[in-house]
């Protein structure tokens, strides 16, 4: 009786993964890797500072100061505060943009390209509004306040009032966009999408 020959197994790693229920190891970072997670963490920290500042100044500081401190001292004080916050806003916007670029370039394969596109668009619009407000609106408001212009009084006062309205509109739009960006970041890093990237 001749011994039976044993053929070498030709089972692939994928077959083994199917038998054990384990997903095959993805190549590279599988869309949501450590680069994406690190850049997202940095972006969210910058957004937290930016968003917290908008809420603190717009919803707390400004109404209290303008209701307690008489004019023009209140306007002069808040002008200084907003001009300093403009620097913080610009720094946060720069960090968010750099983090977004690093995340996309360092982890090009994404499980949610549509979410990434909307997040990038919202980020660009928010940063553009912050830059416009800090470089075009706030300096003009500060100059008019320093010149002693009273809001709503005369042609220059009407201009000052319009500039304040534009600044308020920019701040509200930035706030909504930042909230949307946070939601889109969380959606892109959800476990379900990470599994979808691994299966892809």
Q: What local confidence, expressed as pLDDT, does residue 139 receive?
A: 92
Which residues of the chain are under the pLDDT cut of 70? Answer: 1-32, 107-111, 191-200
Q: State the pLDDT at residue 63.
A: 84
pLDDT value at residue 173: 96
pTM score, whole prediction: 0.75
Give one DSSP letter per residue of 144-200, joined into a string.
HHHTTPPTTSHHHHHHHHHHHHHHHHHHHHHHHHHHHHHHHHHHHT-HHHHHHHHH-
Three-state secondary structure readout of 46-109? HHHHHHHHHHHHHHHHHHHHHHHCCCCHHHHHHHHHHHHHHHHHHHHHHHHHHHHHHHHHHCCC
- What local confidence, expressed as pLDDT, does residue 24 receive? 45
What pLDDT, on the 0 to 100 scale, is given for residue 64?
A: 87
pLDDT value of residue 109: 66
> Residue 151: what pLDDT?
76
Question: What pLDDT score was predicted for residue 150?
Answer: 76
Give the per-residue pLDDT at 29: 40
3-class SS at 111? coil
Pair 192, 117: CB distance under 8 Å? no
């Amino acid at each position: 009786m001749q011994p039976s020959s044993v053929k070498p197994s030709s089972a692939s790693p994928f077959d083994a993964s199917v038998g054990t229920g384990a997903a095959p190891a993805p190549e590279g970072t599988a869309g949501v890797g450590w680069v994406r997670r690190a850049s997202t963490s940095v972006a969210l920290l910058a957004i937290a500072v930016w968003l917290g500042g908008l809420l603190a100044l717009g919803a707390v500081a400004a109404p209290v100061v303008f209701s307690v401190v008489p004019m023009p001292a209140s306007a002069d004080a808040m002008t200084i505060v907003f001009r300093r916050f403009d620097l913080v806003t610009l720094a946060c916007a720069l960090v968010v943009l750099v983090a977004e670029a690093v995340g996309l370039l360092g982890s090009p394969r994404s499980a949610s390209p549509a979410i990434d596109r909307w997040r990038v668009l919202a980020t660009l619009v928010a940063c553009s509004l912050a830059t416009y407000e800090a470089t075009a609106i706030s300096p003009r408001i500060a100059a008019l306040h320093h010149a002693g212009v009273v809001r709503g009084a005369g042609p220059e006062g009407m201009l000052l009032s319009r500039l304040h309205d534009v600044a308020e509109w920019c701040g509200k739009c930035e706030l909504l966009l930042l909230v949307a960006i946070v939601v889109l970041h969380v959606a892109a890093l959800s476990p379900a999408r990470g599994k979808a990237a691994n299966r892809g």
